[in-house]
Amino acid sequence: MTKLEGKVAVVTGASKGIGASIAKHLAAEGAAVVVNYASSKQGADRVVDEIISAGGKAISVQANVAKKAEIEHLFTETQQAFGRVDILVNNAGIYEFSPIEDITEAHFHQQFDINVLGLILTSQQAVKHFDSAGGSIINISSIVSTLAPPNASIYSATKAAVDVITKSLAKELGPRRIRVNSINPGMVETEGTHTAGITESEGRQQIEAQTPLGRIGQPQDIAPAVVFLASSDSAWITGETLYISGGLR
């Protein structure tokens, strides 16, 4: 028997990158998966096709995590398609880098709206939909929440907020059998980091030089830990932040 048979998972931002790998790993363990995306329908549908071809269950649903009405729709669609919700993976996120002189209100609000408000809105809906068996919320934070690199004050602040929300909600929701944990990856090669030019930068070489395991990560380095935190293997773990960064701190 697979670890997540009969469970239903919502993965935000699963059309590409880390989220796509998480969706496929959860489905491979038997979960029915809702592949959320903001604008990349094609990418999301490709992830759904791969899951179905491998014998799994999945649908794609468009929703901007920063919009309450769209998140309500995401969970209504989930309930209609699969009849329940057990797992929420808050993966959708954006990263923009800027020295202090160039920070704008838009730079601040876009990142906080998606990375922090979005995660709150999705968690709020998940809590409404989990049944008396509880549920598992897994937040994709980042090593930057404590590493605090230069030119990343706003992005790092969003992820520090994610870490403290994880701990606070774990205490608040534990009595309802809802576990809340975060995974804090180091640099991972994704569509997003390629577009931002990060994986081709000198910064990558510096990070690899400082990383005990000597390389940056791949999405499949992150996804198995999400399966662990979603499953009953982690039944007595809540409020934790798990660094997956090749040993870099």
Binding site for ligand NAP (CB under 6 A): 12-19, 36-40, 43, 64-66, 91-95, 114, 118, 140, 142, 185, 187-188, 190-193
The pairing of strands 57-62 and 32-37 is parallel
Q: Which is nearer to ligand NAP, 136 or 158 (CB)?
A: 158
Q: Shortest gap between Cβ of 83 and ligand NAP (angstroms)?
A: 23
Q: Which is nearer to ligand NAP, 36 or 125 (CB)?
A: 36
> Among 225, 136, 126, which Cα is nearest to 177's?
136
Q: Shortest gap between Cβ of 122 and ligand NAP (angstroms)?
A: 9
Q: Shortest gap between Cβ of 173 and ligand NAP (angstroms)?
A: 21
Q: Shortest gap between Cβ of 156 and ligand NAP (angstroms)?
A: 11
Catalytic choice (37, 95, 155, 243): 155
Q: Which is nearer to ligand NAP, 135 or 217 (CB)?
A: 217
Q: Which is nearer to ligand NAP, 67 or 177 (CB)?
A: 67
Work out the number of other CB atoms within 10 angstroms of the CB of residue 197.
10
Q: Shortest gap between Cβ of 217 and ligand NAP (angstroms)?
A: 7
Q: Which is nearer to ligand NAP, 45 or 191 (CB)?
A: 191
The pairing of strands 57-62 and 87-90 is unpaired
Going by C-beta distance under 8 Å and a sequence separation of 6 or more, which residues neighbour residue 224?
25
Clarify whether 155 is annotated catalytic: yes
Active-site annotation, residues: 155
